[in-house]
Amino acid sequence: MALDDVTFTVTAGEFVSVVGHSGAGKTTLTKMILADDIPTSGTVFFESINVHKLKNKDLTKLRRRIGVVFQDFKLLSNKTAYENIAFAMEAAGKADEEITNDVPHVLDLVDLGNKIFHFPNQLSGGEQQRLAIARAIINQPELIIADEPTGNLDPINTYEVVQILKKINDLGTTVILTTHNKGVIDSVGKRVITLENGKIIRDTKNSK
Amino acid sequence: MTALKRIIKAGFINFTRGGIISWAAVLVVTITLSVITMIILLQAVLYFSLNVIKDKVDVTIYFNVGTSEDKIILLKESLLKLPEVAAVSYTSDIEALKLFRSRHENDYPTIQALDEIGDNPLGAYLNVKAREVNQYEDIANFLKSDNTLVLGSANIIDKVNYHQNKLVIDKLNAIISGAQKLGFLITLLLIIISIIITFNTIRLTIFISKEEISVMRLVGASKMRVRGPFMIEGAIYGIVATILTLILFWPVTAWLGRNMTDFLGINMYDYYVSNFFQIFAIILLSGIFLGVISSFLAIRKYLNK
């Protein structure tokens, strides 16, 4: 069992770090929130919506309100940086003008303005993760879930990614970050939920 | 509208970026379409040959010597009224003798015997062709039936060669219907095999994009937005493969037309050119249908998550 008797609430605008060893259940937790995985018992609410009761179409709508960043980036490998972001906007039904205006802007924001037409395999790990973050925030989601976003990155890129996530949180977006890296938690310095063997063993409002 | 435009554009981009994989799929669809084209051409040869064979079968009614021409013409008229009869040709006793003489020109004893008799020993005859090979029996039965007796024909008919020919006609009948059945079965089998191969190839190309599909869904793309470009790509496979197939068959049929017309009994190149638009339509529709449906079915598995 990946998760056992886990209950917690995240309020809007919060920055929550979920920490635990590999296999503690962090990824399962994020998949539950996205309804990518179904719990054997229990419920997950997004605002007042029970995400596991949603039909396929409504689930698509819900996912547009949540931006996701993964450890392995999950970029579309046969699309350029520009197209990766544009695709997320198209999926959300944005107009063409809006796409041509916003995409270069957000790429500048994550410092990829000069790599618009690069494919993911032409970008470094840190650049790919910044692209993934840009994609996650382009539709102004209410919640960003970052599942081990720094797992594959070196310390410098890790620091940059954490700074970008903090900036996003400062602008009002709720962030849930999972990690097993103590340094990341220390540099975030906000609420920390500690998971061990699928159970919450600690929930501190301020790690410092 | 914008969504459709985006889907079509994405389909084209995917096709061009697919590189070798796209061309592998095009190749397989081309093979399938070539099989279908080949079957169309083979059917043409088969039907042409069968018609030639069918045309060789007929029934001849020999009349007694000295039967008046009026009575024979009367019978001819009533035969022509039968729905099974395609054509009836009349040969008078004088013509019959002429034909007999020319056929036995070099057969001196026969000609001499004929001269010895003096009178024309041959009667007139009617040559009857049925629309279908299996209808000769009906015609033969008609000649035996009361209809002809009313006309007073029974006593003027010397013999009908249907019963001598019956064995041959029955055999031909069996061969023709067998050939048609076999042709249909082989066609069906080949088409099913090529559809399966095409479907699996397209499934493989989509399997490669499995990750992409799940990412697109996670980003919040609707099912149609994910599936659409793959279906467009499938349609492009079909269109490109159609063009390749039709170009490929140009020199093939030209060669067949030049070298195999005597053997096949039909000029393939002429057939191909004169039926080009029908063949084009069949191949194009099959190609697009194959590509789109294969993509549609293959992607379903990865969408329902």
- Where is pLDDT greater, at A65 or B165? A65
Q: Pick the last residue of a domain from B106, B125, B155.
A: B155
B211:A64 CB<8 A: no
Residue B285 has pLDDT above 90, yes or no: yes
Side chain identity, residue B3: A
Which of B20, B215, B302 best tests the A interface by mutation, with the highest count of A CBs <10 A?
B215
Structural domains of chain A, count: 1
Residue B41 has pLDDT above 70, yes or no: yes
Same domain, B212 and B116: no
Residue B126 has pLDDT above 60, yes or no: yes
Find, in chain B, the residue whose alpha carbon is nearest to that of A65: B220
Q: How far apart are CA A157 and CA A155, in angstroms?
A: 6
* pLDDT mean over B38-54: 82
What are the residues whose beta carbons fall under 8 Å from the beta carbon of B3, sequence distance 6 or more? Answer: A90, A93, B224, B225
Structural domains of chain B, count: 2
* pLDDT mean over B75-92: 82
- Tell me what pLDDT residue B30 has: 93
Q: How far is CA A174 from the centre of its chain?
A: 10
Same domain, B182 and B294: yes
Tell me which chain A residues have a C-beta less than 8 angstroms from the C-beta of B223: 56
Going by pLDDT thresholds of 50, 70 and 90, the confidence category of residue A117 is very high
Q: Bridge partners of A144? A: A67, A175
pLDDT digits (tens, 9 = 90+) for B214-243: 888 878 788 888 999 999 999 999 999 999
Q: Is residue B58 part of a domain?
A: no
Q: Does any CB of chain B come closer than 8 Å to the CB of residue A87?
A: yes
Going by pLDDT thresholds of 50, 70 and 90, the confidence category of residue B176 is confident
Residue B279 has pLDDT above 90, yes or no: yes
Q: Pick the last residue of a domain from B155, B187, B210.
A: B155
Q: Is residue A86 part of a domain?
A: yes
Residue A134 belongs to domain spanning: 15-204
Going by pLDDT thresholds of 50, 70 and 90, the confidence category of residue A91 is confident
Angle at B29 between CA B24 and CA B35, to 5 degrees: 130
pLDDT digits (tens, 9 = 90+) for A2-14: 788 888 899 999 9
Going by pLDDT thresholds of 50, 70 and 90, the confidence category of residue B9 is very high
Average pLDDT of chain A is 88
DSSP A121: G
Could you give the count of Cα atoms lying within 13 Å of A101 in the half-sphere of its Cβ? 6
Could you give the dihedral angle defined by the CA atoms of residues A30, A36, A40 and A46, in that order, rounded to the nearest 10 degrees? Answer: 60
Q: Is residue A4 part of a domain?
A: no
- Tell me what pLDDT residue B85 has: 83
| Of A59-63, B166-170, B274-278, minimum mean pLDDT range | B166-170
Average pLDDT of chain B is 84
Tell me which chain B residues have a C-beta less than 8 angstroms from the C-beta of A96: 2
- Tell me what pLDDT residue A183 has: 84
A77:B218 CB<8 A: no
Same domain, B24 and B89: no
- Tell me what pLDDT residue B267 has: 87
Residue A208 has pLDDT above 50, yes or no: no
| Of A5-14, A113-122, B161-170, minimum mean pLDDT range | B161-170
Q: Is residue A7 part of a domain?
A: no
For chain B, list residues whose CB is within 8 angstroms of any CB belonging to chain A.
2-3, 6, 14, 17-18, 209, 211-212, 215-223, 225, 305
A91:B223 CB<8 A: no
CATH number at A154 reads 3.40.50.300
Q: Is residue B139 part of a domain?
A: yes
Residue B117 belongs to domain spanning: 65-155
Same domain, B72 and B9: no
Q: Pick the last residue of a domain from B155, B182, B211.
A: B155
Q: What is the DSSP annotation of B139-172?
A: HHHHHHSHHHHHTT-TTTEEEETHHHHHHHHHHH
- Tell me what pLDDT residue B151 has: 57
Q: Is residue B162 part of a domain?
A: no
3-state SS string for B44-93: HHHHHHHHHHHHHCCEEEEECCCCCHHHHHHHHHHHHCCCCEEEEEEECH
Number of H helices, E strands in chain B: 13, 4
Going by pLDDT thresholds of 50, 70 and 90, the confidence category of residue B52 is confident
Same domain, B294 and B179: yes
Same domain, B102 and B223: no
| ipTM beyond cut 0.90 | no
Tell me which chain B residues have a C-beta less than 8 angstroms from the C-beta of A135: 219
DSSP A117: T
Residue A36's nearest CA partner among A51, A21, A17, A14 is A51
Nearest to B212 among A76, A92, A93 (CB): A76
Residue A124 has pLDDT above 50, yes or no: yes
CB atoms within 10 A of CB A204: 12
Residue A185 has pLDDT above 90, yes or no: no
CATH number at B144 reads 3.30.70.3040
Going by pLDDT thresholds of 50, 70 and 90, the confidence category of residue B55 is confident
Tell me which chain A residues have a C-beta less than 8 angstroms from the C-beta of B218: 34, 36, 63, 68, 74
Tell me which chain B residues have a C-beta less than 8 angstroms from the C-beta of A92: 220
Q: Does any CB of chain B come closer than 8 Å to the CB of residue A12?
A: no
Same domain, B25 and B97: no
Q: With residue A191 as reference, give the H or E element that holds it.
A: strand A191-196
A56:B2 CB<8 A: no
Which of A74, A75, A85, A128 best tests the B interface by mutation, with the highest count of B CBs <10 A?
A74
Same domain, B143 and B179: no
Q: Is residue A6 part of a domain?
A: no
SS3 of B229, please?
Answer: helix
Q: Is residue B160 part of a domain?
A: no
Q: Is residue A152 part of a domain?
A: yes
Residue A74 φ then ψ, to 5°: 50, 50
Which of B12, B22, B219 best tests the A interface by mutation, with the highest count of A CBs <10 A?
B219
Per-window interface: A 52-81 vs B, CB < 8 A:
56-57, 60-61, 63-64, 68, 74-78
* pLDDT mean over B286-297: 91
Q: Does any CB of chain B come closer than 8 Å to the CB of residue A95?
A: yes
Q: Is residue B189 part of a domain?
A: yes
Same domain, B286 and B178: yes
Q: Is residue A78 part of a domain?
A: yes
Same domain, B204 and B133: no
Same domain, B142 and B27: no
| Of A113-117, A181-185, B68-72, minimum mean pLDDT range | B68-72
Same domain, B177 and B294: yes
Contact at 8 Å (CB) between B198 and B28? yes
B17:A78 CB<8 A: yes
Q: Is residue B190 part of a domain?
A: yes
Could you give the count of Cα atoms lying within 13 Å of A153 in the half-sphere of its Cβ? 28
Structure tokens at A53: 């009761």
